[in-house]
Amino acid sequence: MFQLLRTHIEKRVRLTDEEFESITRYFSVKKLRKRQFFLQEGNVAKHIGFVNSGCLRIYTIDQKGAEHIIQFGIEDWWVADLNSYLTGQPATYNIDAMEDSELFLLEKTARDKLLDSCPKMERFFRILIESNYVATRQRIVDTLSASAEERYLKFIRTYPKLVEQIPQNQIASYLGITPQSLSRIRKELSGRQPA
Amino acid sequence: MFQLLRTHIEKRVRLTDEEFESITRYFSVKKLRKRQFFLQEGNVAKHIGFVNSGCLRIYTIDQKGAEHIIQFGIEDWWVADLNSYLTGQPATYNIDAMEDSELFLLEKTARDKLLDSCPKMERFFRILIESNYVATRQRIVDTLSASAEERYLKFIRTYPKLVEQIPQNQIASYLGITPQSLSRIRKELSGRQPA
DNA sequence: GAGTTTAATTAACATATGTTAATCTGATTT
DNA sequence: AAATCAGATTAACATATGTTAATTAAACTC
């Protein structure tokens, strides 16, 4: 049941069977159907979610109605509007399922108790978020310094599985360009590097 | 001496005088002259630095030789190449002083000892990096969804002090545009919203 | 299986930002 | 004071990406 989560945590801190068993009691299980929301902008995020299976996306909608995907949430990743979760402010992000998915949810006060009662989990979350921070910063660098084409090529290299799995307009949204531009870029590339 | 650091930490966790006193022993003090490097790309980051005074910048240099500023580090902020610091890999970022600055340094093994011996500091760093993560993510949203002009206006609103303090070409670099473009944008704006 | 929505492609044109190069200013150095 | 240098501005032109709109293809729905 929680095998993936255990492996995920044990990449950062060692746990005994008893410790892990007691940790799982803080989580609840949630299944989402494709297109179903995990969180909507304006609501307060009560949970963070560990993705056990499936795929979600975290995105905003700007004034002009365009969606901008901030992050995909695949197996072994977490999804959350961390600001809303931590501060209780209304969420500014939407999170929904791109395919049928299963999440393990950690409610806010449950996490607070877990952090108080289990120093290893405090450490786990510190390490987890450190690496997320590093990755997010790298994404800023890429966005600032690379052209759309370069970002697309890097995306393919970084998430080859996702490229198969999700529609291209979603990738375009993640890259910060229009689907038309991505289509044009792909055409360019296929001319230059024939399969 | 460490007043700013103490206030900074106590925003997240409460400390007794004794606790804080023992914490300070893990830090060393470093003064940097304007233009002096704190870290150069290719070297391993041995320290993270709390900025007690002055202003630094964290940036990369791309293949074409252009600098991209990822973050400014002003009073009460931390500066680091966290990836290098955590993994021991060569740094991909440069960090240097934009004006004479004073840092409090925390060496890697010193931090590990601090985290082991003081759970409050484990919690402090977890909370600190959570909020950095939130801010960094928001920056991605801004970069993806806003025009250069909008990003500039937001920058002015967010860091009014910095706008006075640092050259415009540095702001352009942070925004991901050329100094010429920023100059053009400012001209546009001054026509539209006369001072 | 017909009809309807969703995704991908293409093309013509529009616009924001980059590039190159020249000028100007003020600061710093000698 | 002269000389040098870094930063800011401007202009002409180049290019990447956006916009609008039409077409096709594929995936659901009834």
CATH number, domain at A49? 2.60.120.10
Q: Is the CB of B175 under 7 A from strand D?
A: no
Q: How far is CA A43 from CA A72, A73, A93, B158, in A?
A: 20, 20, 9, 25
Domain assignment present for A48: yes
pLDDT of residue B70: 94
Residue of A nearest to B61 (CA): A145
Residue B124 lies in a domain: no
Print the domain residue range for A45.
3-118
For residue B168, say whether its CB is under 7 Å from any atom of strand D: yes
- List protein-proximal bases of chain D (any atom < 7 A from a CB): 6-12, 16-21
* Average of per-residue pLDDT across B51-61: 94
Q: Is the pLDDT score of A48 beyond 90?
A: yes
Percent pLDDT > 90 in chain A is 85
Amino acid A148: pLDDT? 95
A130 contact residues in B (CB cutoff 8 A): 82, 86, 129
User: Stretch A166-182: mean pLDDT, rounded?
Assistant: 95
Nearest to B134 among A66, A82, A115 (CB): A82
pLDDT at B95 exceeding the cut of 90: yes
**Are the C-beta atoms of residues A35 and A95 closer than 8 Å to each other?**
no
Average pLDDT score over chain B: 94
Instruction: Find the range with the poorest average confidence among A2-16, A175-189, B156-170, B180-194.
Output: B180-194
Q: Do A145 and B83 touch (CB under 8 A)?
A: no
Share of chain A above pLDDT 70, in %: 98
Both structure tokens of A13: 């801190």
A113 within domain boundaries: yes
B140 found inside a domain: no
Residue B194, pLDDT score: 52
Q: Using the predicted structure, report yes or no on whether residue A135 has a pLDDT greater than 80.
A: yes
- Ramachandran angles phi, psi of B81, nearest 5°: -100, 90
Count how many domains chain B has.
1
pLDDT over threshold 80, residue B52: yes
Give contacts of B126 with chain A, Cβ < 8 Å: 122, 125-126, 129
In a domain, B126, yes or no: no
Is B163 among the domain residues? no
Size of interface A-B (CB pairs under 8 A): 86
Give per-residue pLDDT as tens, B21-36.
Answer: 999 999 999 999 888 9
Provide mean pLDDT across the span B182-191.
Answer: 91
A109-147 b/e (C-beta count within 10 Å ≥ 16 → b): ebbeebbeebebbbbbbbbbbbbbbbebbebbbbbbbbe
What pLDDT is stored for residue A195 in this prediction? Answer: 44
Going across the sheet that includes B78-79, the strands are: B27-32, B101-107, B47-53, B78-79
Say how many C-beta atoms besides its own lie within 10 A of residue A158's C-beta: 11
**What are the start-end ranges of the H helices in chain A?**
3-10, 17-24, 82-87, 108-117, 119-145, 148-158, 160-165, 168-175, 179-192
Q: Is a pLDDT exceeding 70 seen at residue A193?
A: no
Residue A63's pLDDT is what? 80
The verdict on residue A164 lying in a domain is no
Given this model, what pLDDT does residue A191 score? Answer: 73
pLDDT at residue B193 above 80?
A: no
Dihedral of alpha carbons B69, B179, B76, A112, sign: negative
CA angle A65, A71, A73 (to 5 degrees): 120
Q: Using N-to-C axis directions, what is the helix angle for A148-158 and A119-145, rounded to 10°?
A: 140
What average pLDDT score do residues A63-71 get?
A: 88
Considering only CA atoms, which of A150, A154, A186 is closest in space to residue A169?
Answer: A186
Does residue B166 lie in a domain region?
no
Q: List pLDDT tens digits, range B113-133.
A: 999 999 999 999 999 999 999
Under the banding of pLDDT at 50, 70 and 90, the label for residue A53 is: very high
Alpha carbon distance A184, A188 (integer Å): 6
Using 50, 70 and 90 to split pLDDT, how confident is the model at B195?
Answer: very low
User: What pLDDT is recorded for position A194?
Assistant: 52
